[in-house]
Amino acid sequence: MSEKAWGGRFSEQPEDWVDEFNASIHFDKTLIKQDIQGSIAHATMLANQEIITADESKQIIEGLNDILQDYLNNQITFDVSLEDIHLNIEHELIKRIGDTGGKLHTGRSRNDQVATDMHLYTKAEVEQLIKLITSFQTSILTVAENHIDTIMPGYTHLQRAQPISFAHHILTYYWMLSRDKSRFEDSLKRIDISPLGAAALSGTTYPIDRHETQSLLGFSSLYENSMDAVSDRDYIVETLHNISLTMVHLSRFAEEIIFWSSAEANFVTLSDAFSTGSSIMPQKKNPDMAELIRGKVGRTTGHLMSMLMTLKGLPLAYNKDMQEDKEGLFDALHTLKGSLRIFEGMVDSMTVNVEHLQQTVNNDFSNATELADYLVTKDVPFRTAHEIVGKLVLWCIQNNKYLLDVPLSKYQEAHPLIEDDIFTFLTPANCVSRRISYGSTGQEAVKQQIKQIKAQLK
Ligand code: ARG
């Protein structure tokens, strides 16, 4: 067991299992690069402010760089009794360069140190998420461009509603992701802030330069209040929320993919590479990737709730409860990154069953609104037209027909102004192309939408 960095005022050692409970090294070792980066900035500033000598700063920085190299080569083992990544590295540094290593912590506390690490880490991860979302959006766009003319049933209440373009349907997910991306981008304002130099809570008596460490670490701004700097975890809650909502969107898309790839729908065929089999039923091909993404929303939402509850009622400033901010965030980030990559691969490699989709819309009543609209073109009030069509649909159900199979005589009995152009009017392709309102599913409107998307992606 190593001697505690804070051991001075203690006369008894904690038992091993207490150390184990207290420690965060098992998970905060994830922050080693950020921790060393923060320490190097701090040591650089300490020398520039003549709080330590240039030579001491140099020794500290070289020592830290060596530690990182050795860690990357698997040559460092951490000690649970040293609690966390911060104390493990400091201990290793002092072991290597002697007393000078003990000067690194001048004018600093683990409270601003851990906050700095987490800000650096979250910033880099969110920037990566933004790239992954953009890449997935580009894949969605490619599929959409290939299927502007592919017609499928559009649903409300999971009942066939009106025919739509496959491109229009799938581009809805582009827009959801675009809002997600903009939330992540906006959150960077609150993530990209330097807490370094706040020390334990009240600042420090040394003539440190917080603006210098801010700029060395590439932060856009710094906390104006040292207590806020060490106690703010809002940006973690916000990131967990943004992750959770993106996962909710992915789960909606996943649910559609699961339904679309069922034998009942058969709208798409997933590539074998993104499907799995059954250990008992030889015929099975399961959409496990989509199901996993749908399922993983449980954990990301759980992490968000957990963080909110951890912060509730916490007094200022740092409290050890805050150590609980890490595992949930790390896991949520890992989950979303994995889900985005998998989803992109799944969408890139799936086949859209164009002909089957066409047959599907030929065999339903999703052109019923169109028949009502046809009557409106003959100056029949929409409400009356709705009633007439409702009766025709009922007649079809009773006679095992769809609207395109109804004989002209029956139509004319329903309304004398119906002519034989009704049979081209009611084709699903015509239902889609007649939709001309801005943002609608009509091919021209979808092309306009794609233009907007391309401008946005640029
Ligand atoms: N491991 C701690 C955490 O993650 C670091 C800060 C500890 N500070 C303290 N005063 N005990 O929150």
Q: pLDDT by residue (tens digit) across 58-81? A: 999 999 999 999 999 999 999 999
What would the mean pLDDT of 366-395 be, rounded to a whole number?
A: 95
Question: Residue whose CA is closest, atom 1 of ligand 1?
Answer: 84
Q: Rounded to the nearest 5 degrees, what angle is found at the Cα of 296, between the Cα atoms of 253 and 141? A: 30
Choosing from 157, 279, 409, 437, which is the catalytic residue? Answer: 157
Ligand 1 atom closest to residue 200's alpha carbon, by position in its atom list? 10
> Which of 114, 227, 232, 324 for mutating ligand 1's site (highest number of atoms within 8 Å of CB)?
114
H or E stretch at 106: none
Dist. CA 238 → ligand 1 center (Å): 21
Q: HSE of 263 in the Cβ direction (CA atoms, 13 Å)?
A: 4
Q: Cα angle vertex 442, ends 439, 448, to 5°?
A: 50
Given a cut of 60, is residue 1 above it in pLDDT?
no
Nearest Cα residue to atom 12 of ligand 1: 323
User: Measuring CA to CA, which residue among 26, 10, 13 is closest to residue 88?
Assistant: 26
Average pLDDT over residues 376-385: 95
Q: Is the CB of residue 223 below 6 angstroms from any atom belonging to ligand 1?
A: no
Length of the chain: 458
Residue 147 designated active-site: no
Q: pLDDT category, 2, cuts 50, 70, 90?
A: low
Distance CA 130, CA 133 (A): 5
Domains of the chain plus CATH, in order, are 16-106 (1.10.275.10), 111-147+165-205+224-352 (1.20.200.10), 364-457 (1.10.40.30)
Please work out whether the CB of residue 323 comes within 6 Å of at least one atom of ligand 1.
Answer: yes
Question: Can you tell me the mean pLDDT for 114-122?
Answer: 98
For residue 283, what pLDDT is reported? Answer: 86
- Among 172, 167, 168, 170, which residue's Cα sits nearest to residue 147? 167
CB 162 within 8 A of CB 366: yes
Ligand 1 pocket residue status of 110, Cβ below 6 Å: yes
Task: Please give the distance, rounded to the nearest whole angstrom, from the Cα atom of residue 393 to the centre of ligand 1.
Answer: 69
Average pLDDT over residues 299-322: 98
> How far apart are alpha carbons 37 and 103 in whole angstroms?
16
Residue pair 1/13 in contact (Cβ under 8 Å)? The answer is yes
> DSSP labels for 347-411?
HHH-EE-HHHHHHHHHTSSTTHHHHHHHHHHTT--HHHHHHHHHHHHHHHHHHT--GGGS-HHHH
pLDDT confidence of residue 437? 97
Mean pLDDT of 381-407: 96
142, 174, 350, 175: which is closest to 265 by C-alpha? 350
231 lines ligand 1 (CB under 6 A): no
Q: How far apart are CA 328 and CA 285, in angstroms?
A: 33
Query: Is the beta carbon of 230 within 6 A of some atom in ligand 1?
Result: no
Return the best residue to mutate from 83, 116, 323 for the ligand 1 pocket (most ligand atoms within 8 A of CB): 323
- What is the per-residue burial (b if ≥16 Cβ within 10 Å, else e) of 231-256? bbbebbbbbbbbbbbbbebbbebbeb
CB 266 within 8 A of CB 353: yes
Cα angle vertex 305, ends 87, 126, to 5°?
Answer: 60
Question: Rounded to the nearest 5°, which phi and psi values hold at 278?
Answer: -110, 145
Mutate to test the pocket of ligand 1, among 19, 87, 89, 111 (most ligand atoms within 8 A of CB): 111
- CA–centroid distance, residue 25 to ligand 1 (Å): 11
Query: CA 87 to CA 6: how far, in whole Å?
Result: 10
3-state DSSP assignment of residue 451: helix
Out of 135, 202, 278, 334, pick the active-site residue: 278
pLDDT digits (tens, 9 = 90+) for 137-164: 999 999 999 999 999 999 999 999 999 9
Q: Whose CA is nearest to atom 3 of ligand 1?
A: 323
- Reported as a pLDDT band with limits 50, 70 and 90, residue 274 is confident
Ligand 1 within 6 A of CB of 322 = yes
How confident is the model at residue 161, as a pLDDT?
Answer: 94
Tell me: the pLDDT tens digits for 35-44?
A: 999 999 999 9
- 457, 137 contact by CB (below 8 A): yes
Question: What average pLDDT score do residues 216-225 get?
Answer: 98
Cβ proximity of 140 and 174 under 8 Å? yes
Return the ligand 1 atom nearest residue 28 CA: 4
C-beta neighbour count of 201 within 10 angstroms: 17
Question: Whole-angstrom distance between the N-terminal and C-terminal Cα of the chain?
Answer: 56
Question: β-strands 151-156, 159-165: how paired?
Answer: antiparallel
Q: Is 278 a catalytic residue?
A: yes
Helix (H) or strand (E) holding 317: none
Least confident of 166-175, 271-280, 335-344: 271-280
Residue 9 has what pLDDT? 86
What's the gap in Å between 320 CA and the centre of ligand 1? 6
Is the Cβ atom of 318 under 6 angstroms away from ligand 1? yes
The answer to whether the CB of 199 is under 6 A from ligand 1 is no
Question: Which tokens is 417 given?
Answer: 């102004």
88 Cα to the center of ligand 1, angstroms: 12
pLDDT average, residue stretch 248-255: 98
Compute the distance between CA of residue 200 and CA of residue 4 in angstroms, rounded to an integer.
18
